[in-house]
Structure 1
């Protein structure tokens, strides 16, 4: 008989005036996860004190839970606020207490200021909404600020940049907890982009082309179907029918990364999927995703996840069948 899994508890802190969008993201995405037919997450929204909390949109939101919910959670998420330069000392104290208790702690948008004020981000890589990045850097110079990425994880701390990057952070957390298939299915059900690499830029200086002008889409699809092959930049350009320079420029415009950076990311993602969902030997996993050898697979997986491939696979073995709401684990 398999051990019954207890939902992972998430406390979302709402600083005043809170971003309603930031509150909706974790409630929606985490709420879609099912493990063995049961909710994978239990999400509680809390505030410095129960009652009405002003929002950045001018409405008041009634919050039932105070900060006592933080210590009952496994993960704490601090939402963004319209007053980021005035961290609430009660929230700062609660975040410190959660850190002392070994919780995973995340921030969305300007919520990073609360984490920085608590001292959690000293010497750590972190990000925030680009419009507030310089002020965070000025106030907290010990933070290794990554000003132009979607999200970044450094140890138990996960920070997202602005607005929709919170979606990417939540999908990253779901992937970490329950695997790629579940995260991708949640993305599909909520009509958002699948898991994107955290290092992708949070804003583009070059406007994206119209949908029909996504010239690299066919080549990306072709590459995904041929990840087991040693694809080169020249081969990608040849498939797209353009020069290497043109392909590189279009890839940057459409995805924010170079063709080979994108290709490596896809290889590692495929490796993670195979580790999560199969019992293939490591050398076969390496060949199937184009990473060559088991040693190369190990190096990339350790760099990306902090775990060896065997340890990464083992953490998913205990989960049993995980799905997203609206799907079935049965055929």
Structure 2
């Protein structure tokens, strides 16, 4: 077995040496075959290129010399380009038309404007809204006598503008929060027979580069209103801040490029008075507005905190609506007796000295 194993190993070794020797001797022949195949392939490709170039040249020469073919080709390419361009623009216009009438812009939080989808979903409610009569601009709004007279003049002027198809004025309502600015804006729209849309300035800054597109969509949507639209922007100072502070380069006082571009788009639409929409801005800090905003505002109204007389009227109105009226209609009032011990137990055991 040992001799047989040695003999087998010698045979394998001899075969390997013979195979390696044959490969070394045939390497030159293999390289020559590869070179010949490459040269033949190269020649074939060159011949194909020459043939194609000859055919193309003859075809192009025949095409150029035949003016009827040239004219037909140019006309066909022109019609194709016009068709592609028209289809692209038509698609964009159709998309904007559908978006403006079937939905509302992303910046609008609430609106009284009736869309096609809303009419299909709630036909009875929509019919009631369409048949409802205009409300008094100060119904349910408690203001001081001087302020009430001022805003009533604005309501009368706005309603006359709506009837005569004139250009609406832009209004700024400023003062402490909770003084009735938003409520008056809604009442003003309903009194004038207009729709209202409510947005907030704090929603514009986080949009970044999309802010310009969203702002154009907002005003395009407002321009399609048939009844006229009162666009109310709450917390307007969060968006309409100064684009740059004079004499300073503080990063805290200078807005970024995206917000500046959005503000420029807003100023463009605000600078053009329209018979389709009016702007009503509300702010607690109007001194932070950009100077271009102040130059485009037509009316400024200051809403101050209610005094003692107005607060008594507010309490009386609350009592009439939520206590007296339900009692006269036979509704039971549920009263909760306040127990300080149970309240302290709910909060937990008080600490010493609390």
For Structure 1 versus Structure 2, the TM-score category normalised by the shorter chain is: under 0.3
TM-score, normalised by the number of residues in structure 1 = 0.24
Determine which structure has the larger helix proportion and give its number: 2
Larger radius of gyration: 2
Determine which structure has the larger strand proportion and give its number: 1
